[in-house]
Amino acid sequence: MVNPLRLIVGLSGASGIIYGIRMLEVLHDLDIETDLVMTGMADKMVEIETGWKSDEVRGLATRCHDNNDFTSVLASGGYRNTGMVVLPCSMKTVAGIACGFADNLLLRAADCTLKERRPLVLVPRETPLNVIQLKNMLTLAEAGVTILPAAPGFYHKPKQISDLVDHVVGKALDIFGVDHHLYKRWREDI
């Protein structure tokens, strides 16, 4: 573990790119160091689903890495970091990590996170799921990965989309022990 925290954040080309953007925003506001790697389709999803520009998203990270650059520090397990979160995580990226097919930097960084036994959190977004996708996620869970579906709860009485987004982002941050108030925990006021 690195103290203070330093998180690798991967954004891939699934729907729900706002989860990744919000994660970067929160970590930025908390002064937590981030290493960002975005796939080409993640860039496209920023354009398709949000009013953000890719450069503005990259501006939220401490450091940005080119997804094709295998000379990046993220390609080495020796790079000191707290762990990695991929959100949203496409089924293609799930498959790549599950079978160790590290043909881009995001996949290689996830591979390194696993081999160094650091926490890896994937936030998949797909529905419905086929058997291959489910098997890939089981393989990952058996390897110690946290599969944290982009499936917000409703018990905190969300009023707007951002409340739903914050619930998922908050659950992912919980895995890394990051202190936050993104959602109201069940009966936390008791």
Ligand X SMILES: Cc1cc2nc3c(=O)[nH]c(=O)nc-3n(C[C@H](O)[C@H](O)[C@H](O)COP(=O)(O)O)c2cc1C
Total residues at interface with ligand X (CB under 6 A): 14
Is residue 22 close enough to count as binding ligand X by CB under 6 A? Answer: no
Distance CA 120, CA 62 (A): 19
* Closest alpha carbon to 150 in 171, 173, 125: 125
CA distance 12 to 117: 22
DSSP letter at 74? G
> Rounded CA gap, 81 and 99, in Å?
23
Q: Which stretch binds ligand X (CB under 6 A): 2-10, 41-49, 54-62, 181-189?
A: 41-49
Name which position in 10, 12, 27, 166 contacts ligand X (CB under 6 A). 12
Compute the least distance from the CB of residue 56 to ligand X, in Å. 19
Q: Which is nearer to ligand X, 5 or 39 (CB)?
A: 39
Interface residue with ligand X, options 5, 9, 14, 121 (CB under 6 A): 14
The piece of 8-16, 25-33, 51-59, 137-145 that touches ligand X (CB under 6 A) is: 8-16
Binding to ligand X by residue 90, rule CB under 6 A?
yes
Q: Give the H/E segment covering residue 7.
A: strand 6-11
Prior bond of 124 cis (ω within 30°): no
**Does 10 participate in binding ligand X (rule CB under 6 A)?**
no
